[in-house]
Amino acid sequence: MLQTRTLQVVMGTPGVVDLLPHDRSGLLCKDGDYLRPTSLFLESIDRWTAAMLFDDKARGTDVGKDVEGLVLSKTSGMVSGIPVIERLVEIHFPYCHLNWFVKEGEMVSNMDRVLSIRGPSSSVLSCERILLNFLGRLSGISSHTMKWVKESSGIAVACTRKTAWGVLDKWAVHVGGGLTHRLSKLDSPMIKENDLASFVPPVNDLELAVRMAVRSIDIVSNSSFAIIEVRNTGQALSAAIEWSDIQSRGNVSDRIVLLLDNMGPDKCRKAHESLLNSGLRENCILEGSGGIAKRDLKQWIGSGVDLISTSKVNMAAPIFDFSLIIGDL
């Protein structure tokens, strides 16, 4: 079984072993235990389940004979979504009882038993499609993320804020061995190209704009996870220089995240080398992002980045196929 993890290790910087702030899974489950979801996670689960129940006109009742539904996997991969389904049944189908044959993050093969649900036929039938939708999407994301992580050769893999189901997607990425990245816009500041373009008055020198943006970061609240998007080596150096000045003035040891946007592995390597030669590499975390395809992951080996981020780990994940077979008790 592949256990879920709460921390990943920086692999991109030679000789540096440190923790990446992009892992926010501790904000979703306490101490990494999927059976102890936080209020943040539960509130998100409740919103998504309420919407699905409303659209499907489904509700839990005690009408009909007692039956048992057995959920079987119809392909091989990683199971994810147990805390979501537990919450769904606990709140909305209280006459039903679940029995899991697997744990969160466990691998299954075709026709393996995953769980059984017992209760009145009306409740089991109403719950069926919503349960399978959650299980299929989240297990699909975890299985897909696992493949990305295996092929990344030690470079950490993170998702982005491009999601279909918000933090539910991010939880599934975590279960598959990836990093959640920011859980929301307020989770940590990310200064992007549009933010630089919104300066009043406008700043035409983008390297100066980058330095001004870094200078504006609230060190007290956000130094542990602050991100700025840069598009070339000059902007990366400008951000790192400004952050180094902030570190020296404010006794700050946290590193800034330089999101190297659409630079590709070769330009990222040049930025990494320039930062090394300038003595600034240890002040920052390098995140390669934009246009990354799984087939090109080998090209990122030696690029110097600490992680790559892509929406493809969740948005391009195929649905994991499960079926539910109902029989009498």
Closest CA to 112 of 77, 69, 139: 77
In which order are the strands placed within the sheet that holds 256-261? Answer: 156-158, 307-309, 284-289, 256-261, 227-230, 190-191
User: In the structure encoding, which two tokens stand for residue 295, read together?
Assistant: 């087939």
C-alpha dihedral, 152 to 158 to 164 to 168, nearest 10°: 110
How big is the chain by its Cα radius of gyration, in Å? 22
- The residues with which 224 forms a beta bridge, in sequence order, are none
Instruction: State the pairing for strand pair 97-100/66-73.
Output: unpaired
Domain that holds residue 130: 25-146+318-328
Task: Write the burial class of residue 252 (CB in 10 Å: 0-12 exposed, 13-18 middle, 19+ buried).
Answer: middle
257's CB contacts (< 8 A; 6+ apart) are: 21, 22, 225, 226, 227, 228, 284, 285, 287
Could you tell me the CATH number of the domain that includes residue 272? 3.20.20.70
In this structure, are 324 and 279 located in the same domain? no
In this structure, are 306 and 193 located in the same domain? yes
158 is a domain residue = no
Distances (CA, A) of 285 to 9, 98, 154, 249, 254: 12, 43, 15, 20, 10
- C-alpha–C-alpha distance, residues 222 and 226, integer Å: 6
- Phi-psi sector, 98: left (phi>0), alpha (psi -120 to 50), beta: beta
In this structure, are 109 and 209 located in the same domain? no
In this structure, are 207 and 260 located in the same domain? yes
The alpha-helical segments, DSSP class H, found in the chain are 39-56, 82-92, 121-151, 167-175, 193-197, 206-215, 219-222, 233-250, 264-277, 312-315
- C-alpha–C-alpha distance, residues 181 and 138, integer Å: 17
220 is a domain residue = yes
pLDDT number for residue 17: 30
Could you tell me the CATH number of the domain that includes residue 118? 3.90.1170.20
What are the average pLDDT values for consecutive 10-residue runs of the chain, which has 329 residues? Answer: 32 44 95 92 97 85 88 98 97 96 98 97 94 98 97 95 96 97 92 77 80 88 92 96 90 92 97 98 96 94 96 97 88
152 is a domain residue = no
Q: How many domains does the chain have?
A: 2
Establish whether the linkage from the previous residue to 201 is cis, with ω within 30° of 0: yes
101 is a domain residue = yes
pLDDT number for residue 329: 60
- C-alpha–C-alpha distance, residues 309 and 258, integer Å: 12
Instruction: Scan for tokens 């039938």, then name that residue.
Output: 125
In this structure, are 210 and 249 located in the same domain? yes
In this structure, are 37 and 131 located in the same domain? yes
In this structure, are 235 and 323 located in the same domain? no
Residue type, 286: L
In this structure, are 298 and 214 located in the same domain? yes
15 is a domain residue = no
59 is a domain residue = yes
In this structure, are 63 and 36 located in the same domain? yes
Instruction: Scan for tokens 């879920």, then name that residue.
Output: 4
In this structure, are 140 and 49 located in the same domain? yes
5 is a domain residue = no
In this structure, are 47 and 130 located in the same domain? yes
In this structure, are 324 and 278 located in the same domain? no
